[in-house]
């Protein structure tokens, strides 16, 4: 599949595992950015899908989400984060996150699969 997918996560190991999982599912254009600023600076195309962490060190996932939605409103966003505060989850969903998945849950892989099946990539 020729969709452009970015993984924006400061956890290098998690990002690489997710990238390999997506490539194994025939997504061929999967890129990793390990900080919010580097993602936004590198962004010269409009991605179809972004997996976005909340705690990025330099920016929050909400900061990146707001800037990304202004640049590319049609980009689908799945937030995958260890941050579970209800206020943050609610805000992310209200701002356009397709799905919010908590890292480390036993069924996290299943939730990622379900999210991929439920989005409509252009």
Dihedral, 40, 45, 48, 51 alpha carbons, nearest 10: -20
Question: Which range among 30-34, 78-82, 95-99 has the greatest average pLDDT?
Answer: 30-34
pTM (global) more than 0.75: yes
Closest CA to 47 of 27, 63, 68: 68
What is the CATH number that goes with domain 4-118?
3.40.50.2300
Domain boundaries, the chain: 4-118
The C-alpha atoms of residue 101 and residue 89 are separated, in whole angstroms, by: 9
Inform me whether the pLDDT recorded for 78 exceeds 80. Answer: yes
Cβ(73)–Cβ(31) under 8 Å? no
What is the pLDDT, as a whole number, of residue 106? Answer: 75
- For residue 94 the two structure tokens come to 């209200």
């Amino acid at each position: 599949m020729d969709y452009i997918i970015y993984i924006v996560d400061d956890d290098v190991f998690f990002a690489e595992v997710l990238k390999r999982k997506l490539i194994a599912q025939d997504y061929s254009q999967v890129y990793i950015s390990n900080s919010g600023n580097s993602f936004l600076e590198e962004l010269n195309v409009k991605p179809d899908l972004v997996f976005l962490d909340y705690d990025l060190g330099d920016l929050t996932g909400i900061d990146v989400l707001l800037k990304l939605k202004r640049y590319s409103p049609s980009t689908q966003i799945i937030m995958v984060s260890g941050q579970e505060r209800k206020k943050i989850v609610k805000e992310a969903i209200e701002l356009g996150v397709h799905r919010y998945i908590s890292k480390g849950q036993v069924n996290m892989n299943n939730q990622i699969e379900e999210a991929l099946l439920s989005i409509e990539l252009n």
